Amino acid sequence: MKKTFCSYHCIIPPDILRNVAQKGSEKQQEWAYKAIEESAQIRGQREVMALLGVASVAVPAGTKRRTIYDAGNKTFLPGKLVRGEGDAKSKDRAVNEAYDGAGKTYDFFLKIYERNSIDDRGMRLDSTVHYDVEYNNAFWNGNQMVYGDGDGQIFNGFTGCLDVIAHELTHGVTQFEAGLVYRNQPGALNESMSDVFGSLVKQYAKKQKADKADWLIGKGLLAKGIKGVALRSMKDPGTAYNDPLIGKDPQPAHMKDFVKTTRDNGGVHINSGIPNKAFYEVAIRIGGNAWEKAGRIWYITLRDRLRTSSQFQDCANLTFAVAKELYGATSTEAKAVQDGWNVVGIKVK
Amino acid sequence: MIVRHERSGGYAGITVKADVDSDTLSAKQANELKELVEKAFPSDQLQKKKTMPDQFNYEFSIEDAGKTQTYQVNDQTITDEIRALSKWLIATAQKKSR
């Protein structure tokens, strides 16, 4: 069966969608809202939605709406609805993990950064579990999260890790804000933002200070027998795994080791090690809860400053500028940002 | 026929390679491969859509009778037939390397 996420939604004229979004029943509004989102997938969704006058369907902050679907080991999305907001626990562990993880991520962004869901307009959080057979992956398809069960040989189920769930949701945040293109350095920044907030959601849930956190991404995801502690280490990029079957963690921790490749959209999961390490260094220098200051600097940079084609150097300069604005030009926080980027070989300007 | 397959990207960013030469296969397996390839790529008309975050990229290079054809898809554009070919190639290449 062919997957057509967007085809029938995209052909509907915007003025009809706008009418439905404003005057339809709750269910129709939901549909129209989603269709508008889908038809403006690449960049500037908020401007498009503002243009269409969809403001009236924005959901008040604090209204968490989660929907979990089951693909039944097939690949048609979203699949069968199995748990909605407020519904009783499922017997299926993956369903509950996806539901709870999405909730923790939503709560984190609302409580810490006053953000109302992925789009800051109360967007419903849709997740599909049991995608495909033994699918060794999880992804964000532009509208929703999708989780595989893993093959049990290399990977366990992808809903088992809170940082994986928060990573996928953060891809949604990035899509609605900076819109970083998913290739080369902007793509690696996109990936790094997902790891940063993925890790922060986990640290917040565990009430861990920066120096007590493990800074690992995907801990517990590697199946028994695979030699490795996680998929990535923000503290020591390149050291997360080293195994005969899956190879060695290829992440660099410094610009001198930047990897040029056409694979993986230009190494987006590889070179993300560099900005990941920079964030870790900043958070450690500032100390305390990483989400409070380092996280806020990164969040505001992602929300207001980064653009679709921003490079590592831009991100360094912008986080430095934001730190100076928030905490003062001669603050320890601004100095920490400068020093943190220095460690990975980037001088802020 | 030589089929070279690479699956890169994904949340883990781990590249999986699977190269299979039908000359090294049993007649039954070689036939299976031929059928899977024919079903996967009946024409060159593949959808073009950007890879969304953490999706896999799938690359195929098929060398047959002196000609090489390459195909690229991602989790957004893959069909069930191409998925079946990818799974078969990865499973077969893994078995052969053991």
- The residue ranges of chain A whose pLDDT is under 70 are 1-57
Residues, chain B: 98
- The confidence score (pLDDT) of residue A49 equals 52
A170 vs B53: CA distance, rounded Å: 10
pLDDT digits (tens, 9 = 90+) for A198-231: 999 999 999 999 999 999 999 999 999 999 999 9
Fold of A184-343: Neutral Protease; domain 2 (1.10.390)
For residue B51, give every residue at least 6 positions away whose Cβ sits within 8 Å of its Cβ, in sequence order, or none. Answer: A182, A265, B9, B57, B74, B75, B76
Structure tokens at A262: 């056409």
N- to C-terminal Cα separation, chain A: 51
Single-letter amino acid, residue A6: C
Bridge-partner residues for B5, per DSSP? B18, B60
A247 touches chain B (CB under 8 A): yes
A201 vs A228: CA distance, rounded Å: 22
- The confidence score (pLDDT) of residue A239 equals 98
Residue percentage of chain B with pLDDT more than 90? 86
Nearest 5°: the CA angle B5, B11, B15 is: 25
pLDDT exceeds cutoff 80 at B66: yes
In this complex, which of A3, A190, A231 lies closest to B12 when CB atoms are compared?
A231
B55 touches chain A (CB under 8 A): yes
A73 vs A90: CA distance, rounded Å: 17
Nearest 5°: the CA angle A228, A229, A234 is: 115
Bridge-partner residues for A155, per DSSP? A222
For residue A88, give every residue at least 6 positions away whose Cβ sits within 8 Å of its Cβ, in sequence order, or none. Answer: none
- Quick check: helix, strand or coil at residue A72? coil
Contacts of B53 in chain A (CB under 8 A): 139-140, 168, 171, 174-175, 182, 190-191, 194
- The confidence score (pLDDT) of residue B46 equals 82
Taking the domains of chain B in order of start, what are their residue ranges?
A: 2-97
Among all residues of A, which ones are annotated catalytic? Answer: 168, 269
- Report whether CATH 3.10.170.10 matches the domain A59-160: yes
In a 13 Å sphere around the CA of A300, the CA atoms on its Cβ side amount to 15
Residue percentage of chain B with pLDDT more than 70? 98
pLDDT band at residue B47 using 50, 70 and 90 as cut-offs: confident
In this complex, which of B11, B76, B83 lies closest to A141 when CB atoms are compared?
B76
A33 touches chain B (CB under 8 A): no
Q: How many CB pairs under 8 A join A and B?
A: 84
Residue percentage of chain A with pLDDT more than 70? 84
- The confidence score (pLDDT) of residue A58 equals 74
pLDDT digits (tens, 9 = 90+) for B17-39: 999 999 999 999 999 999 999 99
- The confidence score (pLDDT) of residue A1 equals 40
- The confidence score (pLDDT) of residue A10 equals 41
- The confidence score (pLDDT) of residue A333 equals 98
Contacts of A132 in chain B (CB under 8 A): 83
Kindly report whether the peptide bond that precedes residue A60 is cis, defined as omega within 30 degrees of 0.
Answer: no
Task: Check: CB of residue B57 under 8 Å from CB of residue B66.
Answer: no
Show the 3-state SS of chain B. CEEEEEEEECCCCCCEEEEEEHHHCCHHHHHHHHHHHHHHCCCCCCCCCCCCCCCEEEEEEEEECCEEEEEEEECCCCCHHHHHHHHHHHHHHHHHHC
B12 touches chain A (CB under 8 A): yes
B81 vs B91: CA distance, rounded Å: 16
- The confidence score (pLDDT) of residue B45 equals 77
- The confidence score (pLDDT) of residue A152 equals 95
pLDDT digits (tens, 9 = 90+) for A252-297: 999 999 999 999 999 999 999 999 999 999 999 999 999 999 999 9
